Structure 1
């Protein structure tokens, strides 16, 4: 297949592109800079210039494609509403292009939904609907495209997609620990975060492109939930810092924007995904990556 990938040079996308190429697909990646375009070409993919704010560029990339894998997202926590509007507009654009074709539309979503300790399964729909919801209610919108002749599939990634070179949540938490001089967790630290290695997540995307049915939700989750106090302990050990508890009402003050996320208890299962796709994570666990030291260099 000719696969149009947004976010192709990003953290997850840069691992997805070689997985798709190895599976025999032709990959066209959205590139918003010369550096991104060069990286895509070096990986063996074709570069399509544009960005997710440019709906014409998204339309032009999707029209000749046999499938769309939408991984790009504006991670701007200072304007979450604006990021949500951008996401919704992008998904609406892909829906208009792919309608009636039975072509796949795989799109990034997340498992950090409930936050109350309920184990999230693939059967659970997203509670976020409408343009003003988180991520623009994109998952609910896109899965509805199954009724429009589109094989839409939600790729629900764990909040921690880790590995060498990661600049996401784990790197931010390590940075906060360096700045504050302590590795902290919130409350008693029993709240849990799911995790998956970057390359395991990429393999799941390639398998979902081949096997996931229309309207399905796939969970890129290797570890159902790692306790926050254990994460803080590993960061403290890696940086040689004491490990402390921060009161819930002080989480935002201590951690900044990530405090609200690191307070959530969001365990998630991937049993259905593993059975349906034949997906078995094989790469390092979160603690193995933390012990390897790349987050502390």
Structure 2
């Protein structure tokens, strides 16, 4: 925690969609080399990959996690249930992941970090995205949530219970209202191309947090990968700032680990705050010696 000085400097690493690309020892050493105060995981660890989630839970750094749609891949979707590689009548891997994570899973919940003067509040976990209410039975049976209105209220309740006035929102998918182009931060990049695919319940919860007098410097998420599916000529917008001064960060730079002839390279999104305000966000790549070999500054105040 050496970054938290008298000047109130905090360094946060956001880990984009993992998709089975997590190396427990190497990623831990990389994070330690970066002198990180807090690690945020936006989910999609794998297709109900219990052991990988266990490895994340065992990371000995302050952290908060939200689970993504792939983390309920065989359970929430009727289309995928027939592909399930295990007997769902004998084990519940979604619940196993939730049990392993415990209170560090902030979906529909919150986690206070008083030493950092901030609370992390999670949006709707396991989100597939979009303006239509999906996976009705899953959300009804798991969370007693029946629609976007219920979902918004559950997130707002977590905001109200959070101890700190500074709120960082952690989602799997981002909120609606941030653009409808294919390259927008939550834009639909498959056929038919274009449409705001953000979560309306998340957007409404953020708006109500402002009304509650909360400070929201950062909203971070993944799900919509930086590489566009049908357009190789540009990448997705990773940063949006709204009129309230909140910065929205899409951290889904995939694949997050690549293997080349000279070793492994891994990326993190690094958010630096000073006195509760964001002063820089960058996407960095580290080599196998945990040296930063590339830094793309996405935001600088």
TM-score (norm 2): 0.37
The structure with more strand, counted as a fraction of residues: 2
Q: Which has the higher helix share?
A: 1
TM-score, normalised with respect to structure 1: 0.38
